[in-house]
Structure 1
Amino acid sequence: MPLYETQAIKIYNSLSGEKETFTPITEGNVGMYVCGPTVYSNVHLGNVRTFMSFDIIFRYFQHLEYKVRYVRNITDVGHIVDDVDEGEDKIAKKARLEQLEPMEVVQRYTVDFHDILSAFNFLPPSIEPTATGHIIEQIEIIKTIIANGIGYEANGSVYFDVVKFNETNNYGKLSGRNIEDMLANTRDLDGQSDKRNPQDFALWKKAEPQHIMRWPSPWSDGFPGWHLECTAMSTKYLGNHFDIHGGGMDLKFPHHECEIAQNEACTGQTPVNYWMHANMLTLNGKKMAKSTGNNILPREILTGENTILSKAFSAAVARFFMLQAHYRSILDFSDDAIVAAEKGYKRLMEAMSALATLSAGKTSSLAIAEWKQSCYDAMNDDFNTPILIAHLFEGVRFINLLKDGKETLNAADLETLKQTMNAFIYDVLGLEDEKVSDSKNDKLEGTISLLIEMRKQARENKNFALSDQIRDQLLALGIQLKDGKEGTTFSI
């Protein structure tokens, strides 16, 4: 019997505003889509927190033996700030400022995104589609929405008619907004003259002559609307009706609201059963912002090169810190908070080392089965990681009692304790033992040092082709060699 048959999960559904028992559309299978990053800058810590929330959810479903298809996209078209109607494309702007091709910008920050998530021990999604790879699908959806009378073309751009849609549907049901109030409170801005209503949003925008990223379409050379990208990618890989759609709280309106409207206008059915939204991360009690200097990048936590923290912290400690708050709660990041988290993390890992050395007794004096179910109960209650962590520290207390000879466990209960602690700490929470990470780093440094020595010998033997090959192939892996008076060093 698969584990999911014995564990009932409740999920807070943003659509209903209530916790609901999770029932997958297809038994034993989960389809989950999460809005990924727009790759025009280094991934920020708030992004890491959001994606970590869904990494935990992905891990727990897998632990329960569900077959999970987890789709998380890369937005590489570059969309305009707000709702794609005003301002400048973020990726194109970055490309213009740095005199790069837009896809150079995309590649640079996609690599950064993957590097950071790997450092924080995220599992890769099942599918990671890109918006540029699905232009054809987006154009086909627009054609259907126009044919259904909800989309209209104006001067080469195509807009979604929110008022027309709302005659038979409910635009605003996810965010709790009333369309009459929205229309009454929206002033008619310059540049919106092509729209029938101020609330209408772009499905396709005609590209101005200076716009770099553009594709041919039946209406104009242009680019798709931001909201449309996720509709195309989620439905292509999960179908018109799937289990879970997730993202940050800031995407609920207008992005996710517009996704629902597009799907319903295109297919006539609501796309998602459970909408999940992760809350924001603050820094020292204030919103993070580059402009005010109240900002820290994930890599700066790991290197210690910042003015916010007292020292560098490992990715495992930073991950543990984030999991101490429920994904729907605001989490405040500070030096004091992560220092405290580091102490808790070390207690956990010391207990895991001790657990490996414990021997069984003849009888059990601890209620291990009840404790094990309490760990599942925490995760079954809308993936409540802080409550799970509290139960894991109860497990730490058990370990210390056993180590000190104050309690005993028979072989079966000791094995249950070991399996449960391992499963939830390493598999579900995705925590790594720093000692293991340090060992990996030592092996990497040793391998690079060996290659540097081989390159040195190649140069001494005037085998410059081999010397250059070692340097170039290491660079392709993100490892840069630097030749100096004291010898060759490297940076990653």
Structure 2
Amino acid sequence: MLYNQNQLKIYNSISGKKEDFTPIHSGKIGMYVCGPTVYNFVHLGNCRTFISFDLVFRYLKHLGYQVRYVRNITDVGHIVDDADAGEDKIAQKARLEQIEPMEVAQKYTVNFHQILKQFNNLEPSIEPTATGHIIEQIQVIQKIIDNGYGYEVNGSVYFDIEKFDQTYDYGVLSGRNIEDMIANTRELDGQSDKRNPLDFALWKKAEAEHIMRWPSPWGDGFPGWHLECTAMSTKYLGDHFDIHGGGMDLKFPHHECEIAQNEASCGNTPVNYWMHANMLTLNGKKMSKSTGNNILPQELFSGENTILSKAYHPAVVRFFILQAHYRSILDFSDDAIQASEKGFQRLMEAIDNAANLPVSSHSNFNVQEWKQKCYDAMNDDFNSPILIAHLFDAVKAINLIQDGKESITQNDKEVLTATLNAFVFDVLGLFNEDVNTDSNDKLENVVNILINMRNEARANKDFALSDLIRNQLAAIGIELKDGKEGTTFTL
């Protein structure tokens, strides 16, 4: 049963505005997200995209939809800006490591899965590979040729942009003008076969030294980068489906070309809602391996890096990422994630305390209104930072109820705890297993020693020392609370 107390709105990149979400088939949703190119370790920016769409997947499931989530693995192809020039990165990596290209793909696919598992991402419904769908890609190419929008030259097949634009609109997603694009397209090696420098490859002839190759009606070769997503999305979701997602960097040319390929082969636009996650920066600058301004998730989890002051648990990193809206640029820094770690610990502590709250005959905290605000936030284009702000409203209420300054009824307490658990664990996908367990145990022991010293100082009427301990702990974010059963602390 769907939760329909409020209308879900999604920002549609193709219209540039938020739109009411209506699935093509009632109660069922088809969603495709462009997966990784498995030639290297998955980086944190990629992880942000996949965590963002894991949030979307989780919330749609939470609402009661049956979601088929398809996320591909790119394990073949020339993966550069125009998808036509340069060397296949998987084949290039295979030469460097002196192994087979599919060993490269397997190695980094395993790494991708391990990292996303650590981030507590749900597995997609289907995870197809490009190499496993060569036949389907050849079939799409043949349809495009038969419909007059593709042409073969010397064993390669290209998409005819100018011919396509006479009937359809190339640039509908990115808002680019075809005349301007043609004027600004630089001549690249290997483009002399094209009718127009803007035309992109559907199939590339494999030269003698090219390792990854397949037979086709046009000779031995390999598919173009853009083609794989068209072939796999339509195979598993149909020619017309609900949601297509990916990183902002894929909007042009990759997603623009996907739209063109689908319209050229099937005659209809493929997707109702296009969603794009924004980039992740590091210390205010673009992440880059060449400049060293880069960090891999595993380096972040282990603390083995020169950028951050300590290791951070995957749950804390996930929480940090979800504190920003998926469409906004997020800057990753040591100070920012330290603050997130403290917030995460406060949230988890409040959830633990919620189950043991004392109950009363009336409530000060309007639980139903708060619950609706949580849904309103997520219904507003999956606005996780606003949702988290509302969750901390509940944290504040829990602390006040625990201190006896506010009250809650048994029924409201049950609604509060159920809603908290649903949004924190099911929707946001957070988890509280072994997060800084060793560090927390040691910290707790140290703080308890200081509490005992403070108690002794108070007994001896040494209030200067007592205040000094309290104030210095407060300065580093540790708050002491004196109660009837003794002194406790919170981070």
Whether these two folds match at TM > 0.5 is: yes
- 8 Å contact from structure 2 (residues 74, 129) kept in 1: yes
Find the aligned partners of 1:282 and 1:356 in 2 and give their Cα distance: 38
What does residue 136 of structure 1 align with?
135
What does residue 422 of structure 2 align with?
423
SS of equivalent to 1:6: coil
Find the aligned partners of 2:350 and 2:8 in 1 and give their Cα distance: 29
Shift of 1:129: 0.4
Cα shift readout 1:173-193 (whole Å, capped 9, x = no counterpart): 100000011112223333211
What does residue 162 of structure 1 align with?
161
| Matched ranges for 1:160-199 at <5 A | 160-199=159-198
Find the aligned partners of 1:19 and 1:74 in 2 and give their Cα distance: 29
Query: Is 2:21 the counterpart of 1:26?
Result: no
- 8 Å contact from structure 2 (residues 149, 163) kept in 1: yes
What does residue 3 of structure 1 align with?
2
CA pair 436-336 structure 1, distance change in 2 beyond 3 A:
closer
Task: Letter of the 1:337 partner, please give it.
Answer: A
Find the aligned partners of 1:303 and 1:184 in 2 and give their Cα distance: 49
| Matched ranges for 1:18-167 at <5 A | 18-167=17-166
SS of equivalent to 2:167: coil
SS of equivalent to 2:3: helix
Cα shift readout 1:153-212 (whole Å, capped 9, x = no counterpart): 000000000000000100001000000111122233332111000110000000010000
Find the aligned partners of 1:106 and 1:229 in 2 and give their Cα distance: 16
Shift of 1:438: 5.6
Query: Is 2:246 the counterpart of 1:247?
Result: yes
SS of equivalent to 1:427: helix
Find the aligned partners of 2:436 and 2:228 in 1 and give their Cα distance: 37
Task: Letter of the 1:402 partner, please give it.
Answer: I
Unmatched 5+ stretches in structure 2: 439-491
| Matched ranges for 1:348-387 at <5 A | 348-387=347-386
Find the aligned partners of 1:413 and 1:147 in 2 and give their Cα distance: 63
SS of equivalent to 1:5: coil
- 8 Å contact from structure 1 (residues 314, 434) kept in 2: no
Find the aligned partners of 2:345 and 2:277 in 1 and give their Cα distance: 27
TM-score, normalization: structure 1? 0.88
Task: Letter of the 2:325 partner, please give it.
Answer: H
Cα shift readout 1:68-100 (whole Å, capped 9, x = no counterpart): 000000001143422221110000000011100
Find the aligned partners of 2:184 and 2:423 in 1 and give their Cα distance: 49
| Matched ranges for 1:245-324 at <5 A | 245-324=244-323
| Matched ranges for 1:324-335 at <5 A | 324-335=323-334
- 8 Å contact from structure 1 (residues 14, 274) kept in 2: yes
TM-score, normalization: structure 2? 0.88
Find the aligned partners of 1:4 and 1:139 in 2 and give their Cα distance: 42
Cα shift readout 1:421-475 (whole Å, capped 9, x = no counterpart): 1000000000101447969xxxxxxxxxxxxxxxxxxxxxxxxxxxxxxxxxxxx
Task: Letter of the 1:363 partner, please give it.
Answer: H
Unmatched 5+ stretches in structure 1: 440-492
CA pair 229-437 structure 1, distance change in 2 beyond 3 A:
farther
Find the aligned partners of 2:89 and 2:323 in 1 and give their Cα distance: 33
What does residue 474 of structure 2 align with?
none
Shift of 1:364: 1.6
Shift of 1:353: 1.1
- 8 Å contact from structure 2 (residues 212, 222) kept in 1: yes
Task: Letter of the 1:383 partner, please give it.
Answer: F
Counting matched residue pairs gives 438
What does residue 202 of structure 1 align with?
201
What does residue 485 of structure 1 align with?
none
- 8 Å contact from structure 2 (residues 315, 435) kept in 1: no
What does residue 488 of structure 1 align with?
none
SS of equivalent to 1:212: coil
Task: Letter of the 2:306 partner, please give it.
Answer: T
